[in-house]
Amino acid sequence: MPVHNSDIAAIFSKVADLLEIDGANPFRVRAYRNASRTIDDFSRSLADMIANNEDVTKLPGIGKDLADKIKKIVQTGTFPQLKEIESHIPPELRDMMKIAALGPKRVRILYKKLKVSNIEQLEEAAKGRKVRELTGFGQKTEEKIIEEIKHKKKTLELTKLITAEQIAQPLIQHLEKIEGVDKVIAAGSLRRRKEVVGDLDILATCAAGSEIMHRFVNYEDVKQVISQGKTRSTIILKKGFQVDLRVVQQNSYGAALHYFTGSKAHNIAIRKLGQKKNLKINEYGVFRDDTPIGGKTEEEIFASLDLAYIEPELREDRGEIEAAKINQLPHLVTLEDIRGDLHAHTTATDGRLSLEEIAQAAEQRGYEYIAITDHSKHVTMVHGLNAERLLQEIKEIDRLNQKLEGIVLLKGIELDILEDGTLDLPNDVLKHLDLTVCSIHYKFNLSREKQTERIIRAMDNPYFNILGHPTGRLINERRPYEVDIERIIKAARERGCFLEINAHPDRLDLNDIYCKMAKDMGVKIAISTDAHSLKQLDYLRFGIGQARRGWLGPEDVLNTRNLQDLKKLLQRK
């Protein structure tokens, strides 16, 4: 099996977590964690570099010791140091760190004091009221642990969109290379751009006698073959992900693609609408009295029902069919509509790119502008900017803008919303900025009322522009904090503020439901990457998918505007 960058990054991340639980030297932990991030963000294959005898130490944060370790992993597929750590620190302890109430210190206490080494044992100890007896825990923490474990079990079988995409792309490329294969496409929730994916549905058309099924079940990443047939096969990949491949006839391709893309509710609604018109609609086509009248394309399916074409992201039975009947579907935003990114970090705090590198990367992507929004001082772990450092960065941006052509760096900050609703830096500094992204990074456990009031009080500040990652969730890891989003959107409308879709695939926050709510209430959305590296600047496509699921058109999105119009919108009345 080839060793990918993501495999090496995952090993180093695992080592960092286990070392941290073990109480190892923080600098050693940080070295592995930083290396993991560097490798995961690196676009070239480290395995190829090593095969070509290239110097891996040229990567930031990768010294000779780590370079030797990378080489060992690439050549053997294993990492002896990890096995050594796992010999005295159970690897399952990492899963416990994903519980919101727990960090490495608490996990270590649970392991040492209660001999708890996995989620199941933790749940048993918490329900047995043993956790509350430990120093630094208490009843509320114990109850929070039980609640978080319950949530974890619900999301256990779901894979983040980016992971599903990373699994699907090489498999589809593998199938496309087979002789006689015409079309190969991923359908299902991946095509609808859902934030989490249960399994993968792939459709293909090919010539008779193609080896596609044989090559599919013998794909290098297959762990188990569930079934194998001439038109359908099912496999389980080594990461535990299920993939179904269906070979369909050209005349049924559109019908099958529609059937295997839409949600169950959407498909039922479409079939019922067909029945009212004396039509039978299934994965094989559209039929009247058993006579096929359509199905080669998806457009034929919708046309047979007198519906406008419904984009895949909208096929959830949330009003899209009714809108299609009266030709009132939105013209959805696309990546090409975006003029710039309004949330990006530099090496001044926890980013990996300098101002010059971000400007160059933004220009290469065809942007007109990009906002520099390093963290403010409350985020001490990443050396957030105080007033003096921010003013210095503003001067650096001004100097650089005088030299740049074709791209403008906007002066911004990701500003912490403090517990009392005040902002992390004074207004006499904020007045020098083009925009602020205001976010909550701590005190997630406030009541719904207090958290909502906290954000609205922050919006009262005339220098508040965009609410960053508005619900604070991390998909499959941390639930959103309690907040009344409808009140927040109303307050934003009244004050001339905006909300963000944070396009990082771990966040995708706002979710699609709230995006639609913001649209309906007349509040514009910024689709931003929150990029900390070059690779993450390309995460914008995930935010676009989320926006499209939320019915957003270019007119609903802040950063589809040219620079002049953007600055007008950012001026608080």
Q: What is the DSSP string of 20-89?
A: HHTT--HHHHHHHHHHHHHHHH--S-HHHHHHTT--GGGSTT--HHHHHHHHHHHHHS--HHHHHHHTTS
Residue 1 has pLDDT above 60, yes or no: no
The enclosing domain of 230 has a CATH number of: 3.30.460.10
Residue 286, domain extent: 252-325
CATH number of the domain within which 103 lies? 1.10.150.110
SS3 539: helix
Q: Are residues 456 and 566 in the same domain?
A: yes
pLDDT at position 284 over 90? yes
Looking at the DSSP bridge assignments, the partners of residue 340 are 369
Compute the average pLDDT of residues 428-440. 97
Whose CA is closest to 469, among 411, 519, 415, 393?
A: 415
Do 299 and 413 share a domain, yes or no? Answer: no
Mark whether 342 and 411 lie in a shared domain: yes
Out of 215, 247, 279, a domain closes at 247
For the cut 80, the answer to whether the pLDDT of residue 153 exceeds it is no
Kindly tell me if the per-residue pLDDT of 337 is higher than 90: yes
Q: Indicate the residue among 109, 134, 155 that finishes a domain.
A: 155
- Region at 61 (left for phi over 0; alpha for psi -120 to 50; beta for the rest): left
Last residue of a domain, one of 247, 267, 293: 247
Asked if the structure places residue 330 within a domain, the reply is no
Q: How many domains does the chain have?
A: 4
Same-domain status, 150 and 167: no
Q: Look at residue 90 and tell me if it is in a domain.
A: yes
Percent of the chain with pLDDT over 90: 71
Same domain for 508 and 375, yes or no, is yes
402 & 510 share domain: yes
Does 450 lie in the same domain as 498? Answer: yes
Alpha-carbon distance of 38 to 571, in angstroms, equals 37
pLDDT at 225: 92
Whether 317 and 384 share a structural domain: no
378-403 pLDDT, tens digit each: 988 788 999 999 999 999 999 999 99
Rounded mean pLDDT of 273-290? 94
Query: Based on the domain organization, do 197 and 67 belong to the same domain?
Result: no
What is the CATH number for 305? 3.30.210.10
497/380: higher pLDDT: 497
276 and 229 in a common domain: no
**Residue 541 lies inside a defined structural domain of this protein:** yes
Q: Examine the domain organization and report whether 521 and 440 are in the same domain.
A: yes
Rounded CA gap, 228 and 458, in Å? 58
pTM (predicted TM-score): 0.84
Please give the backbone phi and psi of residue 257, each rounded to the nearest 5 degrees, phi first.
-65, -40
User: How far is 213 from 472, CA to CA, in rounded Å?
Assistant: 43
Report whether pLDDT(418) > 60: yes
Give yes or no: residues 311 and 427 share one domain: no
